[in-house]
Structure 1
Amino acid sequence: MTWTLPEPMLATPVPDPALLQGWASEPKRGGFRALFFMDAGRVVRRSRLGTDMVRAFPEIVAGSGQLPDATALDGVM
């Protein structure tokens, strides 16, 4: 089975910031929005535009060995 990195979820502006029951949100603070993927010792970290960010954040690569295979994270650094 081939697994590919999903497309990032982009924020959508809304006229009313009230959330529906069962929904959650997080504020976008300064930083980089990126996807992180770990599988069989291979680390992929890409910006939402597709830029490879592994070299920019060596501490992420160093700590990735603690994650199980087929882990995907989407967040802000």
Structure 2
Amino acid sequence: MLTVPVESPALRTGWAAEPKWDGYRAQLAVHAGGRVLLPSRQGTEMTSSFPEIQAGALAHLPADTGLDGVM
């Protein structure tokens, strides 16, 4: 999940990018049985700090879903 320098900001076909202005970079994992994990890039478990994300993930995402993003 770390950025790397590139020679050109042009993206290859099929790629997407977004700026990270502020916030946290995390991965969201919804596991079977209703377990949600939200670890930071450095491995800090942040699920309990964002109960609304945990609740939303359980309400709207199927089990075995993984997302990477900035919040």
Name which of 41, 44, 47 aligns with 1:54: 47
Gaps in structure 2 of 5+ consecutive residues: none
Equivalent residue pairs, number:
69
* Secondary structure at the counterpart of residue 46 of structure 1: coil
Q: CA RMSD in A?
A: 1.2
Larger helix proportion, structure 1 or 2? 2
* Other-structure match for 1:34: 26
Q: Which runs of 4+ in 1 moved over 3 A?
A: none
Question: What TM-score comes out, normalization by structure 1 length?
Answer: 0.80
Percent identity among equivalent residues? 57
* Other-structure match for 2:63: 69
